[in-house]
A and B are shown apart, each in its own frame.
Chain A
């Protein structure tokens, strides 16, 4: 897609993307924090339908240096539940609006769907090499998302986000009536809780890499672009 350009300035992000991005930053912060506050007061993970203190666990925080009582003292699940559910709703609406809007203006198909050439192993190798050497795109290449950006954004938006919502509701007592099949699909209520936690870790990993890459590619320029929409194209290096 041809982006509006004047001189070295391009219009990189539409306003819907910008607003939804920052709302998601707030949601993610609160959801993660409130999730941790709840987890600390039940710091074990199990598989299947059944799990309680004393039952065979697949993860125990007490094996990692924090006893049950110490973790309990750090947590606060009343605060956790209140804010987790509140921001789950904001998160859900925000992303439905984001996906709906950008499907309609074909943002995904035009700018985020990787072409066949990009997915070719030679190109993947080339771009991976560029990432590993922390070389940010310049010139024309900086106008578009690189293939790893495209893939990771699509996975986060269309796989991990829905998975978080579905594995979240599968833990709720009401769903033992609404859709017990959904709970069974995860392999049980405790499995849903465990997978919800693992999926959280994947999202945290994404955020860490995402923020790191922003710094590699120029934090000021990129953060300004996500706020104002305007992005200054770095000049191609002339050798």
Chain B
């Protein structure tokens, strides 16, 4: 009997590990060196050179520098969109996001919906990091949230063919993240900024942190998370709203 249970739990463990292997295996795949859609001409060559060289240097998935709490910048800027006009967003905001929920769907084994409370019950991560805006500014803040991998595991793990995680927001933005960024331990869905709830100007109720990218890919006002095999049919198919408008997709710089 005991032996049987042992076998079962072991088999269960292997199945669970298999569910995550889709994520883990892509870590050694070659497509971590190229954007989902390569721009034409020399600009595409330059993009691939930048992305490939930086990804090579980051292949150990090292963490970005974490600062001391004493380094935290007073008055962290609220840059870009600070109040989505979306009706649903306004309604959810008016009740303190108690009715807000994040749908996690696509190529996950158990598509689910998570309320703010559900997210806060998952094991959190807190990190004090430097936010770098592509425009030029930078500031240090402490973010608390649930790692994206933890969330995907809570939705049953991702399927084998999963390649990108597409995130939609209430202010009309979307962006796709490849598994290299998804599995990074500091990629979190932050509900806390400097020990308090994320203020509206900084993306309430949830803001994504992808620390190795410029600020604009750290989406605010999250609406949904969708795991996909390809970004071809999403937006203009370039893997993000800004890349649809001819910005480089990889924003490590």
Chain A interface mostly helix, strand, loop or mixed?
helix
B139/A178 in contact, CB under 8 A: no
Q: Does A234 have its Cβ within 8 Å of any Cβ on chain B?
A: no
With contact pairs A51-B137, A180-B65 given, residues A174 and B212 touching in the complex (Cβ less than 8 Å): yes
Count chain A residues whose beta carbon lies closer than 8 angstroms to a beta carbon of B: 33
Bound form: Cα–Cα A39–B58 in Å: 28
Contact for A174 among B45, B47, B134, B252, CB less than 8 A:
B252
Contact for A53 among B64, B77, B251, B252, CB less than 8 A:
B77
A38/B136 in contact, CB under 8 A: yes
With contact pairs A38-B136, A49-B140, A53-B77 given, residues A173 and B212 touching in the complex (Cβ less than 8 Å): yes
Among A82-90, A124-132, A215-223, the stretch that binds chain B is A82-90
B139/A85 in contact, CB under 8 A: no
Q: Which residues of B lie under 8 Å from residue A171 when comparing CB positions?
A: 132, 253
Q: Does B229 have its Cβ within 8 Å of any Cβ on chain A?
A: no
- What residue of chain A has the Cβ atom nearest to residue B57's Cβ? A178
Contact for B136 among A42, A78, A82, CB less than 8 A:
A42
B136/A176 in contact, CB under 8 A: no
Bound form: Cα–Cα A169–B134 in Å: 13
Complex interface residues of chain B between 25 and 83 (CB less than 8 A to chain A): 42-43, 45-47, 49-50, 54, 57-58, 62-65, 71, 73, 75, 77, 79
Bound form: Cα–Cα A71–B75 in Å: 25
Q: Which residues of B lie under 8 Å from residue A176 when comparing CB positions?
A: 64-65, 129-130, 132, 211-212
B73/A81 in contact, CB under 8 A: no
B211/A193 in contact, CB under 8 A: no
Give chain B nearest CB distance to A173 CB in angstroms. Answer: 5
Contact for B247 among A78, A169, A174, CB less than 8 A:
A78
A50/B138 in contact, CB under 8 A: yes
Complex interface residues of chain A between 50 and 70 (CB less than 8 A to chain B): 50-55
Q: Which residues of A lie under 8 Å from residue B94 when comparing CB positions?
A: none
Complex interface residues of chain A between 28 and 50 (CB less than 8 A to chain B): 38-39, 41-42, 44, 49-50
Give chain B nearest CB distance to A36 CB in angstroms. Answer: 13
Q: Does B214 have its Cβ within 8 Å of any Cβ on chain A?
A: yes
Bound form: Cα–Cα A171–B65 in Å: 14
Q: Does B135 have its Cβ within 8 Å of any Cβ on chain A?
A: yes
B57/A42 in contact, CB under 8 A: no
Q: Does B248 have its Cβ within 8 Å of any Cβ on chain A?
A: yes
Q: Which residues of A lie under 8 Å from residue B246 when comparing CB positions?
A: 78, 82
B64/A177 in contact, CB under 8 A: yes
Give chain A nearest CB distance to B60 CB in angstroms. Answer: 9
With contact pairs A50-B138, A86-B42, A89-B46 given, residues A174 and B130 touching in the complex (Cβ less than 8 Å): no
Q: Which residues of A lie under 8 Å from residue B213 when comparing CB positions?
A: 173-174
Max chain A Cβ within 10 angstroms of own Cβ: one of B77, B138, B245: B138
Q: Which residues of B lie under 8 Å from residue A54 when comparing CB positions?
A: 75, 77
Q: Which residues of A lie under 8 Å from residue B248 when comparing CB positions?
A: 81-82, 85
A85/B50 in contact, CB under 8 A: yes
Q: Does A230 have its Cβ within 8 Å of any Cβ on chain B?
A: no
Contact for B43 among A39, A53, A82, CB less than 8 A:
A82
Q: Does A13 have its Cβ within 8 Å of any Cβ on chain B?
A: no
Contact for B140 among A50, A53, A174, A183, CB less than 8 A:
A50
Bound form: Cα–Cα A49–B73 in Å: 10
Max chain A Cβ within 10 angstroms of own Cβ: one of B47, B134, B213: B134
A49/B135 in contact, CB under 8 A: no
Q: Which residues of B lie under 8 Å from residue A52 when comparing CB positions?
A: 77, 79, 133, 137-139
- What residue of chain A has the Cβ atom nearest to residue B56's Cβ? A178
The 9 A-B residue pairs with the shortest CB-CB distance, nearest first, are A174-B252, A172-B253, A42-B136, A180-B65, A52-B137, A86-B46, A176-B64, A177-B64, A174-B54
A-B contacts, 20 of them at CB < 8 A, read A41-B136, A50-B73, A50-B139, A52-B79, A52-B133, A53-B137, A78-B246, A78-B247, A82-B43, A85-B47, A85-B50, A85-B248, A86-B46, A89-B50, A171-B253, A172-B253, A176-B212, A177-B58, A177-B65, A189-B132
